[in-house]
Structure 1
Amino acid sequence: MTNSVLLLAARVLLAFIFILSGWGKFFAIEGTAGYISSVGLPAATLLAWAAAIFELVAGLALLVGFRTRETAWALAAFTLFAGFVFHFQPSDQMQMISFMKNLAIAGGFLALGQTGAGSMSLDARLGTARPALA
């Protein structure tokens, strides 16, 4: 497989969870807000809407390879934040598994932020793709 095919596969796999999660939040915004407030964050409804929009838009941008580096870095930060705030509960094995998954996903985003989207992307079509960072 070429690097471009592998980068496309990475983008699709990483984007999938955020597209579905963001879309799902639109239909369960009150449940999302309840979960957010359960960890003590303020303005839970506003944060729930922001999370839904961010996850859907960022997931779609990543999928098509638009502003891939910036999107990957933003998703890495979001994923780390969510992992620490919602899942870092050492006494709960299931939450810690979710936390470790968030760490792994963030690692994938950091790698994608380093390499960019590859030639099979909107970035490449628009001529905005940059070579991998040194």
Structure 2
Amino acid sequence: MLDYDKHRDVLLLAGRVLGSLLFLIAGYNKLMKHDFYIGYFGKLGVPMPSISVPGAMVFEIVGGILLLVGYKTRSVAWMLGLYSFVAGLFAHLAWGDPNQLNHFFKNVTIFGALLAFTVAGPGTYSIDKK
């Protein structure tokens, strides 16, 4: 049986690394497929896609890096979690489509996981060291 308390900081580090990948990859994709995402955001009804896409890209990359290194982790986790929830509302809330509904609940789950970092903090293997 794993002693969770003994390995708390390593597990928090692993969670931050894995969680940050989602945002870093999403931001990178928006950078590399900028025009596609402007069209996609427009189709979803996101206001001002030509501004929203670069804003989302910067938010995801900077937020992912901050989560990864554990800087201002509690605030960053809260903001990334809320962002994931709102993104799910815009992009995936289609009650009649089981696939989109699964994606919506994926975003809700991401929010829940990031709430845990909001409460627990980043652990000692971080810039915050808490």
Q: TM-score higher than 0.5 here? A: yes
SS of equivalent residue, structure 1 residue 13: helix
Post-superposition offset of 1:122: 1.0
- Equivalent in 5, 11, 14 of residue 10 of structure 2: 5
Question: Contact 1:29 / 1:45 at 8 angstroms: preserved in 2?
Answer: no
Does residue 100 of structure 1 match 2:105? yes
Residue type of the alignment partner of 2:118: G
| Alignment correspondent of 1:76 | 81
Distance in 2 of aligned mates of 1:45 and 1:70: 27
Find the aligned partners of 2:31 and 2:88 in 1 and give their Cα distance: 21
C-alpha deviation, 1:65, in angstroms: 0.5
TM-score normalised by the chain length of structure 1: 0.90
Kindly state the Cα deviation for residue 115 of structure 1 after the two structures are TM-superposed. 0.8
Q: Which 4+ stretches in 1 moved above 2 angstroms?
A: none
TM-score, length of structure 2 as denominator length: 0.93
Gaps of 5+ in 1: 130-134
The 1-side partners of 2:56 and 2:75 are apart by 17
Does the 8 Å contact 2:46/2:90 carry over to 1? no
Structure 2 stretches of 5 or more lacking a match? none
Alignment RMSD (CA, Å): 0.9
